[in-house]
Structure 1
């Protein structure tokens, strides 16, 4: 049976090595594949870091930058978001970069309607230890921040 026109089709994962060339915020970065080709804008899957103009946004960006900027990472492209960005799991020296960010309190585990998300355990640890964003009882999840303020102005 054929898919109806416009139906979403699952994408196969694509894994490759790349050098991180720019970190835009706590969950968005640019890479240059080592195999060659164009630069790619990626968004870390499974987490939501504060917006760059939001409290904690620059700290999250700087943490991600300190961890991966100009370093070689393994990119696992899983699918695309509604902006066309590749949603990825990123590893550096065998460590899951998303888990690293969340457990240090630089991002929230992304929650789906019926699921806690892949980094729920790391968020629980960061909350229990009051790390980063979780030291502030009033920290606002980015989704709510965007709803109230709109997007951050471009620099």
Structure 2
């Protein structure tokens, strides 16, 4: 019986690791106060446990670079929604730049969805997939909200390819 129980526990552990790896469940949940907004998809949060603020990249969106058209408006929109407020985050992973990648909510509202819906960010594309907020992006495009009012608006990934990062 012990062998069966051990096998069952190992199977559950493998399932949990798989779900975390594909982003189906958060690695951990936290709350904290936003201390700074860097751009339309990056902010700094002092976690409830204290310590130095943590740099967080909002999962599922790509906002214009700060030096790109719409970049300052995206930062201002995000700041108006979350600055100095307590937010809840589900941290999924850390990116190549050491930022925590997380979904962020304020008063139960998904901030990434709000940013896309207001026309301040694109749904982050995964290969050929339109990303998690494609429906909201299409609604914002149809309504010509924010950056989608400009037919020449350039997705940040293309801007970075042409001009590089605003942050050397």
TM above 0.5, yes or no, is: yes
From 106, 123, 127, the equivalent of 1:92 is: 106
Q: 1:39: which partner in 2? A: 53
The superposition leaves residues 72-99 of structure 1 with CA deviations (integer Å, 9 ceiling, x where unpaired) of 0001101121112111100000100000
Q: 1:6: which partner in 2? A: none
Q: 2:66: which partner in 1? A: 52
**Greater fraction of residues in helix:** 2
Q: Structure 1: where are the runs of 5+ without partners?
A: 1-8
From 62, 67, 77, the equivalent of 2:76 is: 62
Q: Looking at CA atoms only, which structure, 1 or 2, has the larger radius of gyration? A: 2
In 2, Cα distance between equivalents of 1:153 and 1:32: 23
TM-score of the aligned structures, taking structure 2 as reference length: 0.83
Count of aligned pairs between the two proteins: 146
> Within 5 A, what are the aligned runs for 1:1-155?
10=21, 13-153=27-167
Supply the RMSD in Å over aligned alpha carbons: 1.5
CA distance 1:147–1:45, shift in 2 (3 Å): same
